[in-house]
Homo-oligomer: A and B are copies of this chain.
Amino acid sequence: MKCKICGNRAVIKLRAHNISLCEEHLIEFIERRVERTIKEFRLINKDEKILVPVSGGKDSLNTLFILNALGYMVEGLHINLGIGKYSEESQKKTENFASRYNLKIHILQVKEILGYSTPEAAKKLRRPACSVCGLVKRYLFNKFAYENNFQVVATGHNLDDEAATLLSNILNWQEGYIIRQNIKMDSTHPKLVKKVKPLALISERESAAYALIRGFDYIREECPFAQGATSIQIKNSLNMLEEESPGTKLRFYKGFLKQNIIKREEKEIKLKECKICGYPTTRDICTFCTMRERLGSKID
């Protein structure tokens, strides 16, 4: 198997693109694809300050690294969720990565902000850990970006994530979620920062190969709370179809971004400002502050 670009020994075959590549050209291929995605969907500009939520996994490290390599102004934000050893490891790997590549990383501790780690908070609130975690991350990434003059939050969602979420939402006709499942969510409120997914056309496997070849030391374990049987089944189904017809995931998700049959008009949701923290919400008090109140956390 030879690299299609240089003829040297290829290390990977990408059936969706009908191409085999050596290490060097796989790196180039991925970075160019991210750059083209950014241009094609007008995700970000070189004069915008970009915040990348960094978990310590391959996708978020790749996002931070590639955006920086492409010349974008980028910094990372790691949220330590307080999930025992898993969170310790994640923070350490994130910090090592940042210092190795001279990238700026901010760290927030959920325990300091809520007075409880995420699992402790979930237990106290009798809610699933994943729902508390999602709420905390959504809120803090946006707040941190807004308060520190970032114009964009760029997450590391890959093609497998996006295709599976989209398929799940379509199988259940979750209309609101389908409309909002885009590669770019523009700001709809002065305190709501634009969100983009520059890796959304890069598959899980491509992303892993990139991190591996770059020699990134990323956290490989899944979060111990991640079970997500449904989402795993849906990913398996898509992988089966991909195996049979390479390019299925890309056609499906990219086709979604370009299709013209699903209505795009979101119902105009009137956003108010939370009476406690001032951040956008559809209610009087936002879900984050409601949670803080129920936990008896101090309000900063």
Contacts and interface: CB of A to CB of B under 8 A. Distances in A.
A258 B172 CA distance: 11
Interface stretch (A143-151, A240-248, A291-299): A240-248
Interface stretch (A83-91, A194-202, A260-268): A260-268
How many copies of the polypeptide does the oligomer hold? 2
Contacts of A178: 261
A172 B251 contact: yes
A230 B245 CA distance: 8
A234 interface: yes
B229 A233 contact: no
Contacts of A170: 170, 252
A230 B234 CA distance: 17
A29 interface: no
A262 B172 CA distance: 14
B244 A230 contact: yes
Nearest to A236: B240
A178 B259 CA distance: 12
Given A175-B259, A262-B263, A263-B261, A241 B252 contact: no
A8 interface: no
A170 to B, nearest CB: 6
Contacts of A173: 251-252, 255-256, 258-259, 261
A179 interface: yes
A175 B252 contact: no
Interface string A179-212: 1000000000000000000000000000000000
A263 B170 CA distance: 14
A237 interface: yes
10 contacts: A171-B248, A171-B255, A173-B256, A175-B259, A175-B260, A230-B245, A237-B241, A240-B240, A261-B262, A261-B263
Given A229-B244, A261-B263, 6 more contacts: A171-B251, A171-B255, A179-B261, A230-B244, A234-B241, A262-B262
